[in-house]
Structure 1
């Protein structure tokens, strides 16, 4: 089986390559804007350097996809948050280019990485199924883009019924190797990462809406493999228990829970983002407060998927990775201290939320 993975050098892509390397019958091709070195999980992959947001990407992708048994689309930009045009170009227009190339090449299966961000605001004390309204959270550009891309897939499913389309919708994806990346993309250069070495988070913000789901990257990779092996279609939610809230995180990391109003959380994020102190705008806070909790019953029933790592253990691993500045040699997961979002980058005038880390 020949599988082409678009966006194969990021957080989920790195874990997926690790998992697929264990399957002797798979032939892997990887697409990224910048090729990672052919070591570790990036070895034994036929790499192609393609920026899916460019005009020529469609022709190159069609050639690459021809003869493939499946295309997996993981490509997505979270940064630079201060360049919304670039994010739209890659996330929405780039995804459209990938989909059109898969159709033109006659690929039989298209697997797309969506997320909980596609869903409309929903309950924090109940779990929604894959049929929940998919209009996103309006204040979050990430969420809006996820909803737009799934709308494209709806149209493609209608126009091309023989194409097997699967959408995986994970919660927050954690692993140790993503520590440096997630710190750069979501915390910024002022994060006192050294304090995390002791496995403590001193202050844990508490709010009724701050109840989120997470899943280990290796469990997400396992779900992708199961989808590639099974004749399934449609959407699958992916998350591990327990739901992460202030009480659970506070106990796990010996932190003091501090009740914080939602408006204060949003205002603080907006102000510090505008001042280029950290890379996360208020839309991310709004998404965290409004995104629903997901039921994963369909993944269990149709795929036999169950996470091996619980959400608290996955979070512990990520925190250890942040403290240890863990990364890989892939550009998106690099631990380079001079990149935007790191203190060295700030000292060099590379502000959080700027530059293209992919």
Structure 2
């Protein structure tokens, strides 16, 4: 039976992750129908929430179509993706690009009506001539020498083709900036927490920031309303890396970009870091995202601005010394 009117409920990919697990908590009692949590990781019974169906599966696996066909969700929230920079390039491509294609094909086969995807501000790319701020209508250029940004751009190109070829599958695309919460621990927070925060001379390195709670709230609103569109996901304002260091009580040392590239080239050759010289642009040309469309068209205003987002992270993080 392929009639989409018989589809109901929500399926979340990457449901055991940072944002997915928080979204589950919100949707479990939200009246959106049956909620299905799909993740590569198995969730032990003791950690499972009542009222949620748990499925273990890989978004790259052709068997994903069987899960979608059995669950028949009305809405799919696609969160499963690569979040760390500097991993296995082939694996990252398979997860982000081929995995998303498999999710799209599974949605189409199962008659899913609404797909919500978390893309990334990295899809715009890290470029010296990026507009400030970047709007949703600005071109997605990624970076050919930065696989994370390249993959995000390719995913968005694919989503655009599907919007044209399969309009019956409505899409809501969020492009988050740096997502920060009290438990966030990744390559970006590592920059903030070093004894000495090193930045680049000649650039302020402005960080657009969004609270994890605002990301979850926007996703939940998209599930409830079914509103399609493409929206930057960022709080108001920015913080420079120097300001972040000051707020965190750390000294800040700017380093010329050429010296930073040389240092990363050496450390990478010695096997001491996965980062390469090309990753310098990740700090040098931070995308600053405009959130006007998120507020005016989608109808969501982030509760926390950039400074409050960082202070919340700093003050509530459990593993930092007082």
TM class by smaller structure: 0.7 to 0.9
Q: Which secondary structure does the structure 1 equivalent of 2:237 belong to? A: strand
The 1:257/1:92 distance shift into structure 2, 3 A limit, reads: same
Shift of 1:264: 2.7
2:211 corresponds to? 216
CA contact (8 A) 1:116 1:291 kept: no
Shift of 1:277: 2.7
Shift of 1:42: 5.2
1:346 corresponds to? none
Q: Give unmatched runs, 5+ long, in structure 1.
A: 326-358
Does the alignment pair 1:102 with 2:107?
yes
The 1:202/1:157 distance shift into structure 2, 3 A limit, reads: same
CA contact (8 A) 1:206 1:245 kept: no
Picking from 119, 123, 128, the partner of 2:124 is 119
Picking from 115, 135, 143, the partner of 1:137 is 143
Picking from 69, 92, 95, the partner of 1:90 is 95
Picking from 154, 163, 169, the partner of 2:160 is 154
| Number of aligned residues | 311
Task: Give the TM-score of the pair, scaled to structure 1.
Answer: 0.77
CA contact (8 A) 1:176 1:317 kept: yes
Higher relative contact order (CA 8 A, sep 6+): 1
C-alpha distance after superposition, 1:124-159 (max 9, x if no partner)? 782121011112122210000001111111111111
The 1:204/1:37 distance shift into structure 2, 3 A limit, reads: same
Matching of residues 197-276 of structure 1 within 5 Å: 202-207=196-201, 208=203, 210-276=205-271
Task: Give the TM-score of the pair, scaled to structure 2.
Answer: 0.85
Bigger mean CA offset, 137-146 vs 78-87:
78-87
Shift of 1:177: 2.6
Cα distance in 2 for partners of 1:212, 1:86 equals 28
Cα distance in 2 for partners of 1:48, 1:251 equals 44
2:3 corresponds to? none
Picking from 55, 66, 69, the partner of 1:48 is 55
C-alpha distance after superposition, 1:193-243 (max 9, x if no partner)? 9xx6xxx95434244152121111110011111212224222100111331
Shift of 1:80: 8.2
